[in-house]
Amino acid sequence: MSGKVGFVETPLPIAELMVSLIEAPKDVRVLDSGCGRGVFIEALLKAGFKNVRGIEIDPQLYAECSGKYGDRAEILKGDFLKHRDTYDVIIGNPPYVHFNSLPPHLSEEVSRIIRSREGDIYYAFILKALELLREGGQLVYIVPYHFFYNTYARVVREALLRKGSLEVVIDLDEVRIFSKSPETVIFRFVKGRKGERMKILRIKDRKATPEEIRDLALDALKNGRSNRLFHYSEAPQFRTAGPWSSFVAGIPEFEGIPLKKLAKVGVGLVSGFDEAFRVSQEELTTFSDEERKLVKRFVKARNCDRFVVRGHALYIVMDEHIRDEGHLRERYPNIYARLLPYRERMTKRYLPAGKRWFHYQALRNYTFLLSHISEPKIYVPTLDRRPYNRFSLSYGPDLPSGDVLFIYPYRREDLLFLLGYLNTRFFREYYLGRGGRRGGRVSFTQRLLEGAEVPAFSEEVKERIAALSGEIVSRRMEGEDTTALEEEIERTVREAIEGGRRTVSLF
Ligand SMILES: C[S@@+](CC[C@H](N)C(=O)[O-])C[C@H]1O[C@@H](n2cnc3c(N)ncnc32)[C@H](O)[C@@H]1O
Q: Are residues 221 and 368 in the same domain?
A: no
At 383, which CATH number?
3.90.220
Q: Tell me which amino acid residue 418 is.
A: L
Q: Are residues 393 and 446 in the same domain?
A: yes
The minimum-distance atom of ligand 1 relative to the CA of 80 is 20
Q: Are residues 193 and 327 in the same domain?
A: no
Name the domain boundary from 235, 252, 277. 235
Per-residue model confidence as pLDDT tens digits over 235-290 = 889 988 978 888 876 677 789 999 999 999 999 999 999 999 999 999 999 999 99
Q: Distance between CA atoms of 467 and 473, rounded to whole angstroms?
A: 10
Residue 287 lies in a domain: yes
Residue 226 lies in a domain: yes
Look at ligand 1, atom 15, and give the residue with the nearest C-alpha: 5
Distance in Å, CA 131 to ligand 1 centroid: 18
Q: Are residues 219 and 272 in the same domain?
A: no
Helix (H) or strand (E) holding 268: none
Q: What domain range includes position 347?
A: 261-498
Asked whether the predicted pLDDT for residue 44 surpasses 60, the reply is: yes
Asked whether the predicted pLDDT for residue 505 surpasses 50, the reply is: no
pTM: 0.77
Residue 208 lies in a domain: yes
Residue 4 lies in a domain: no
Look at ligand 1, atom 19, and give the residue with the nearest C-alpha: 79
Asked whether the predicted pLDDT for residue 502 surpasses 50, the reply is: no
Q: Are residues 317 and 396 in the same domain?
A: yes
How many folded domains does the chain comprise? 2
Q: Are residues 266 and 121 in the same domain?
A: no
Q: Are residues 326 and 430 in the same domain?
A: yes
When pLDDT is averaged across residues 386-415 and rounded to a whole number, the result is 96
* Confidence at 172, pLDDT banded by 50, 70, 90: very high
pLDDT at 412: 95
Residue 507 lies in a domain: no
Q: Are residues 230 and 303 in the same domain?
A: no
Residue 103 lies in a domain: yes
Distance in Å, CA 432 to ligand 1 centroid: 32
Asked whether the predicted pLDDT for residue 507 surpasses 50, the reply is: no
The fraction of the chain above a pLDDT of 70, given in percent, is 96
When pLDDT is averaged across residues 482-495 and rounded to a whole number, the result is 96
Q: Which residues line ligand 1 (CB under 6 A)?
A: 4-10, 32, 34-36, 39-40, 55-58, 61, 79-81, 92-95, 106
Q: Distance between CA atoms of 454 and 64, rounded to whole angstroms?
A: 57
Look at ligand 1, atom 6, and give the residue with the nearest C-alpha: 35
Q: Are residues 358 and 301 in the same domain?
A: yes
pLDDT at 250: 63
Query: Taking the alpha carbons of 346, 348, 349, 352 in that order, is the dihedral positive or negative?
Result: positive
CA–chain centroid gap for 316, Å, is 32
pLDDT at 217: 98
Name the domain boundary from 217, 235, 253. 235
Q: Are residues 59 and 169 in the same domain?
A: yes
Helix (H) or strand (E) holding 262: helix 259-262
Per-residue model confidence as pLDDT tens digits over 58-85 = 999 999 999 999 789 999 999 999 999 9
Residue 247 lies in a domain: no
Per-residue model confidence as pLDDT tens digits over 8-34 = 999 999 999 999 999 999 999 999 999
Q: Of 407, 447, 415, which is closest to residue 431 (Cα–Cα)?
A: 447
Q: Which of 12, 35, 141 to mutate to test the pocket of ligand 1 (most atoms within 8 A of CB)?
A: 35
Distance in Å, CA 54 to ligand 1 centroid: 10
Helix (H) or strand (E) holding 132: helix 121-132
At 186, which CATH number?
3.40.50.150
Contact 334, 419 (CB under 8 A): no
When pLDDT is averaged across residues 468-489 and rounded to a whole number, the result is 97
Mean pLDDT for all residues in the chain: 93
When pLDDT is averaged across residues 293-313 and rounded to a whole number, the result is 97
Residue 401 lies in a domain: yes
Asked whether the predicted pLDDT for residue 501 surpasses 60, the reply is: no
Distance in Å, CA 96 to ligand 1 centroid: 9
Q: Are residues 320 and 216 in the same domain?
A: no
Q: Distance between CA atoms of 51 and 91, rounded to whole angstroms?
A: 13
* Confidence at 6, pLDDT banded by 50, 70, 90: confident
In Å, what is the CA distance from 208 to each residue of 70, 171, 179? 34, 13, 14
Q: Are residues 276 and 131 in the same domain?
A: no
Strand boundaries in 259-390, DSSP class E: 263-267, 278-279, 295-299, 307-308, 313-316, 377-381, 383-384
